[in-house]
Amino acid sequence: MPDGRDVMAHTLRAEPGVELTVLDLGATVQRLRVPTRDGHPLDVVLGYSDVASYLSPTNPYVGATVGRYANRIAGGRFTLDGKTYPLTTNEADTCLHGGTEGFHLRLWTVVDQAADSLTLELVSPDGDQGFPGELTARAAYRVAGDTVTIELSAACDAPTVVSLTNHAYFNLGGPESGSAEDHLLAVDADTYLPVDPRAIPLGRLDPVAGTPFDFTTPAAIGHRARHHHPQVLRVAGIDHAYHLRGEGLRRAARLEHPDSGRFLEISTDQPSLQVYTGNRLDGTLNGRDGRLLRQSDGIALETQRHPDAPNQPAFPSPVLNPGETYRSITTWRLGSS
């Protein structure tokens, strides 16, 4: 780190099965290796090989745990219990993924570790990026066979808002395959959240039927992300939240690489899934293999509370009170058909 502190990489293994490497910087997923038929494990997430890239202001949150509030809060402010809290803004007047010094830029503390699991903790003080109350957040990773489980939790000492997520970018063809546009995506949602020109939800749920946002049956990402639909043009691809069917831990999405048959199934207990086609991967940073990361080289599938929910009472409440525990569980199951 710039102040001389070391960044540690922790590798979790399931024998036989997946291998996950997590950095204590940002509780970041740096690598996710899966077995292949030829016996050579394949990395299926984007990542960097140096700390400077993770700290870069142009890093689009590659692999990071983001917070205190994932996604966007409009106007860089929200009102809670009659008081308005101004936040740091890092996307025009918007607070994105926790603000200018979000959780992705912090060194988390290891509180528990085993061969197949890792738990990291971060204490965010009262007023951090403008958010009220001290928040103690934890990110717990566990691998077992073909599955990665991510449990994000938090407790506070004063009412606040919280939504944490992991921002991994997946490319099931591996880093040398280039674009993920050929991947087939299915999302278990019948509605999505249309956005304004600032990518802030308009406060309503629109049906996906008849739009390029319809992934109720598997569809190639590239065609949809380059559609002429006004909502696609508005954010130069897909960068929209889906309102998932059902409640509790259930499947949210399936991603498949047609050439290899590799697939990823994501399950979550969260109400929303942000589908992001890497629209801002602009070639300014190199991936681990030295290749420039460009648009659609990976797709992020972020399980979370609804974006801008602190300002939109029609969405499920993101408020956390003292004595309560925020908890989010997400699983990634990887396999080959």
167 catalytic residue (yes or no):
yes
What pairing do the DSSP bridges indicate for beta strands 109-114 and 117-124? Answer: antiparallel
Q: Provide the token pair at 181.
A: 């546009």
Q: Share the mean pLDDT of the chain.
A: 96
Question: Can you give the pLDDT at residue 265?
Answer: 98
Instruction: Using alpha carbons, list the distances in angstroms from residue 287 to 47, 173, 189, 239.
Output: 6, 15, 32, 22
Of the candidate ranges 12-21, 230-239, 289-298, the one whose mean pLDDT is the lowest: 289-298
C-alpha torsion angle, residues 47, 50, 53, 54 (rounded to 10)? 70
Question: Can you give the pLDDT at residue 291?
Answer: 87
How is residue 28 annotated by DSSP? E
- pTM for this entry: 0.97
Question: Can you give the pLDDT at residue 283?
Answer: 86
Neighbour count for residue 264 (Cβ, 10 Å): 25
Residues above pLDDT 90, as percent of the chain: 92
Residues 150-170 have pLDDT tens digits of 999 999 999 999 999 999 999
pLDDT band at 75 (very low <50, low <70, confident <90, very high): very high
Q: Which candidate in 104, 167, 257, 306 is catalytic? A: 167
Question: Can you give the pLDDT at residue 289?
Answer: 82
Give CA–CA dist 318/160, Å, rounded.
Answer: 8
Mean pLDDT calculated for residue range 319-336: 98
Give which of 273, 245, 262, 291 is closest to 330, Cα–Cα.
273
Residues 277-304 have pLDDT tens digits of 999 898 888 998 888 999 899 999 999 9
Q: Which candidate in 183, 257, 302, 306 is catalytic? A: 302
Give CA–CA dist 147/178, Å, rounded.
Answer: 24
Give CA–CA dist 56/176, Å, rounded.
Answer: 23
Q: Which domains does the chain have, with CATH numbers?
A: 9-336 (2.70.98.10)
**Residue 176 pLDDT exceeds 80:** no
